[in-house]
Amino acid sequence: MDKKNIKVEVCILCKNELICLKKIYKNIKNSLDKIKIKFFIIDASSTDGSKQFYKDNKIEFYTQKNKGRGNAIIEAIKLKKNVDSIIFFSPDGNENIKDVSKIIKYLKKNDLVIGTRMILGARNEEDDQFLKFRKWANNVFNFFANIFFNKNKYVTDSINGFRGINRKSFLILKCDEKNYAIEYQMTIRAMKKNLKIKEFPTIENNRIAGISQAPSIQTGITFIRCLLKEIIIGKNF
């Protein structure tokens, strides 16, 4: 892909993120308005008053039909048939909305663009912590993905959710992970199909409020299962 102009929208994935969203919504809207990019929300049946906030601010939103982060991403792709690419963003404060413009730039020549927290110039939320369990686990999963499936430049952050993908490319990948392994599967299958993957350093800030909705042990098991499945099926998907 090498296009001067592509139609891109940002998908914000929400589940009970009202406190965070209230604090950063104005920045999100102003930043995206400045670069003339539309956004919409996929809401996973929030119970904290989020939907009223969407309505009050006239935000385009859709209630997720099936549970799980993977299903939210799959539903977003199916909904937006008139766009070239979709960028996925979480409103918890970890991700920098200003990096959206970088993703758009790189999507003009690539199929999948990932904000990496693992290279020089980047920051991982756990960098200030003594025990970096999630970061270490991430590096292990990155290693196996690259060893088994990648023939091109080493991908340093195969699981980060802050990414953009060409819609047609996503459909080719036939991703079917229902929950948090969706990005890992997406990256692995992009490797298998020899799609163009681009990474750029991003700063992962600390979460504004609340805790991660991805329990570490359960999520780790999900990633292991996904990896084994992708090894077994090879390119048969």
Looking at residue 98, its pLDDT comes to 95
**DSSP H/E element including 100:** helix 100-107
- CA angle 192/110/141 to nearest 5° reads 45
pLDDT given at position 212: 65
SS3 (DSSP) at 74: helix
Looking up tokens 């077994």 gives 232
pTM of the entire structure? Answer: 0.94
Would you state the pLDDT for residue 214?
63
Mean pLDDT, the chain cut into blocks of 10 residues (237 residues total): 80 96 96 97 96 98 96 98 97 94 97 96 78 83 98 97 98 97 98 98 86 73 96 93
String of DSSP letters for 20-61: HHHHHHHHHHHHHHHTT-EEEEEE----SSHHHHHHHTT--E
Return the CATH class of domain 8-233: alpha beta
* pLDDT value at residue 77: 98
